[in-house]
Structure 1
Amino acid sequence: MQYNIRGKNIQVTDAIRDHVEKKLDRLDRYFEEPLNAEANVTLSVTRNQQSVEVSIPLTGLMLRAEDKNDDMYAAVDLVVDKLERQIRKHKTKLNRKFRQEGSIKSLFKDEAESGAVTVALDEDEEMEVVRTKKFTLKPMDVEEAILQMNLVGHTFFMFANVDTQEVNVVYRRNDGKYGLIEQS
């Protein structure tokens, strides 16, 4: 794997670069062949918060993770753990699909070969809908929707936009600001 490591508001030292490369090299054990991909790593510091963002484009799959911590090395470790969970989850889905279609070829190594430990999930557990809610969408503007979302303590809120007459969703972003999803 090739690495594109850059820093925002931080100087990328050799020690940090070595740590990132060493940790990301752990991902190779999940694949049959060495990854021929470019890992884009962005290290940043904002308000004493160390942030690491990694994206690895693969054929038919985009691995992406982001984490923040007080320590840059800990943030790198947490991001790699998230990427490993994504790979295991995707591997489980792929293997289930291949079993259903009768094919045995897989992009990923068998776990006995890789030494990875995964939690066994029931086939129904991963995609099971555990609750369904129905409600009437009240026409309101975006500001009122944000107030309603905060009032009920949720991180998102669906509403009928009074200006466009379409279904919209407001949500709270990780940076504390708000986002709006509009129907196209």
Structure 2
Amino acid sequence: MEIVVVGRHTVVADRFRQQVEDKLSKVELLAPTAMRVDVEVTHENNPRMSEKRERVELTVRAKGPVIRAEASAEDRVGALDLAVDKLNERLRRARDKRKPHRNHTSKHGAAAAPLPIEDNVLAPDEEAEPQVAAPAALTEPGDSVETSMGDSPVVIRQKLHEAEPMTLDDAVYEMEMVGHDFYLFVDKETARPSVLYKRKGWSFGVVQLDDACAGAVK
């Protein structure tokens, strides 16, 4: 299994790279098909964020869903420990999901109900954010690019992902595996681009797009 460590706005020392390899030793046991683990280390220069100035993102690439975890802390090793703990827990859950079960039911014993679809996500009087000029087209899955919003410090990062139609149940599982509060997918039943997102408690929302937009650029 390959471990690739990169730094964003920082230099990653050899000693830390060795610590990464040591702490990721359980990945192959929990995910035997793992081919690579991408480790991204980011240093935040803003002094107001000193308690979370070091961020570590871990992404396991294997046969099946991508599993991801990230954490921030005051020091780099602390952030790594937190991220590894989250990653190992998600790998265990993914391994348990692959085990055969007689009945596919929810933890309450009943079949999982369809998630509600919310119509209004933005408030009617909410103003749209300033638009950003589109960057060069992304062509390969995994490609990413960053674009600045004019003279402001805001940076937009775009990334191209592979899209495979899936059910809402699968989308919830995939979202939990990457540790995000949202998940973009193509609904298997409607073939519509959809976004699943977390609400309060165990509640989720889904936004679907009518892809037959007259003004869409093709």
TM over 0.5: yes
Unmatched segments (≥5 aa) in structure 2: 129-180, 182-194, 199-205, 210-218
Structure 1 contact 142–170 (Cα < 8 Å) conserved:
no
Indicate whether 1:91 and 2:91 are aligned. no
Q: Could you tell me how far 1:4 is from its partner in structure 2?
A: 1.2
Indicate whether 1:74 and 2:99 are aligned. no
Q: Could you tell me how far 1:128 is from its partner in structure 2?
A: 8.7
Alignment of 1:5-154 (within 5 A): 5-31=5-31, 33=32, 35-46=33-44, 47=46, 48=50, 49-95=53-99, 98-100=100-102, 124-125=107-108, 140-141=123-124, 143=126
Give CA-to-partner distance per residue, 1:146-176, whole Å, 9 cap, x none.
xxxxxxxxxx9xxxxxxxxxxx9999xxxxx
Superposition CA RMSD, Å: 4.2
TM-score of the pair, normalised by structure 2: 0.48
Runs of 4+ aligned residues of structure 1 deviating over 6 Å after TM superposition are 126-129, 132-136, 168-171
1:100 alignment partner AA: R
Who wins on radius of gyration, i.e. which is larger? 1
Structure 2 contact 28–34 (Cα < 8 Å) conserved:
no
1:10 and 1:126 mapped to 2: Cα distance?
49
TM-score of the pair, normalised by structure 1: 0.56
| Identity %, equivalent residues | 23
Q: Could you tell me how far 1:79 is from its partner in structure 2?
A: 0.8
Structure 2 contact 55–73 (Cα < 8 Å) conserved:
yes
Q: Could you tell me how far 1:100 is from its partner in structure 2?
A: 2.3
1:183 alignment partner AA: Q
Distance verdict in 2 for CA 1:70–1:37, change over 3 Å: same
Distance verdict in 2 for CA 1:90–1:126, change over 3 Å: farther
Bigger helix fraction:
1
Tell me which residue corresponds to 1:4. 4
Tell me which residue corresponds to 2:139. none
Distance verdict in 2 for CA 1:139–1:44, change over 3 Å: closer
3-state SS of 2:25 partner: helix
